Amino acid sequence: MENPAGADSTPVNTSTVSPDLTPDATATTSTPSEVAWPGWASIESEPAVFQALLRALGTSGCQVQELYSLDDEESLRALNPALGIVFLFRWKPEVDDEVEVSCPEGVWFANQVIDNACATIALLNIVFNSDAIISEELRNLKDFTAPLTPAMKGLAVANSARLRDQHNSFAREHEKLAVDLNFEEVAATKPKLAVRNVGDDDDGENHVYHFIAYVHVVDTLYELDGLRKAPVKIKTCPKEDWTVHAGARILERVARYPEGEIEFSAQAVVSGNTIEDENLEKIARSRQVDWEGFVHKACTLLAANGMARKILAPPKKKGGRR
């Protein structure tokens, strides 16, 4: 995981954004030694985590499910009335030739203006363009930011301590630590992404991942990418078929990558609630188990006892008879 360039790990002063988004209104009560971590950490692409995050942000009456096939039109239509689709992919620079000149009327779209926030940005870009049931606080945020530009909408989200804390509650502690440790190193070279460091590209660059959203608004399918200036209009289509066209669009994007690449994920936000909140919370929180401390301690003990060298030593070659 990394902190990309051009973003500050400390949220901007919110006093000029909205009375509902000031620190006093959104921050949790804490002692000086328990002040919430001020950055944004990347979170896992897992349906239970995303559904629990939606609940924590203030939505109800919807659930998240993994999409295993994007070319099965019958199963994609069966998702409707779907609220939106979240797509995770390995980010790489692209030409902005498809983007709208300005944000279309009736579409709520926020830019990602701070590192590691694209999961929450993608979810808000879905629920604020759907008939999802949202809390009064989210309703106030949506109404207040409606006339603002996408960049200012993104700033309002980034400066909400409550949204940030709910987002970070699904991150592992070592991911937060990595953000702090890597910020200075990558600040001058990386784009603004909610990303996860998982290896190196052929050119030596670290892999980074990004969440975007697909929604259907007023008979039109849009791709909402917080790193673009405005929504991308995919096509005009009836509401009952939009998920099919969204699946085709995602497959088109996947085809831009080398054959055999599998580092993608698609999840649909649909109406309904078949998983009880208590069970959902247990599933989501179980994904947060942080094994880093255990692994570090185990490696330390193995090294101290001389076992690590034996474990890592190459096997001895056995001689054979001629």
Task: Please report which residue ranges of 150-241 form alpha helices under DSSP H.
Answer: 150-158, 161-168, 173-186
- C-alpha neighbours within 13 Å on the C-beta side of residue 37: 19
165 burial via Cβ count (<10 Å: 0-12, 13-18, 19+): middle
User: If you ran DSSP here, which 8-state letter would residue 154 be given?
Assistant: H
> What is the C-alpha separation between 238 and 216, in angstroms, rounded?
9
Phi, psi angle pair for 133, to nearest 5° = -80, 120
Rounded to the nearest 10°, the torsion over CA 285, 207, 254, 65 is: 0
Residue type, 105: E
**Residue positions counted in the chain:** 322
Q: What are phi and psi of 315, to 5 degrees?
A: -65, 145
Residue 166 has phi, psi (to 5 degrees) of: -65, -40
Query: Taking a C-beta distance cutoff of 8 angstroms, is the pair 192, 227 a contact?
Result: yes
CA separation for the pair 229, 102 (Å, rounded):
8
* Cα–Cα nearest to 66, from 45, 81, 52: 45
- Positions marked active-site: 118, 210
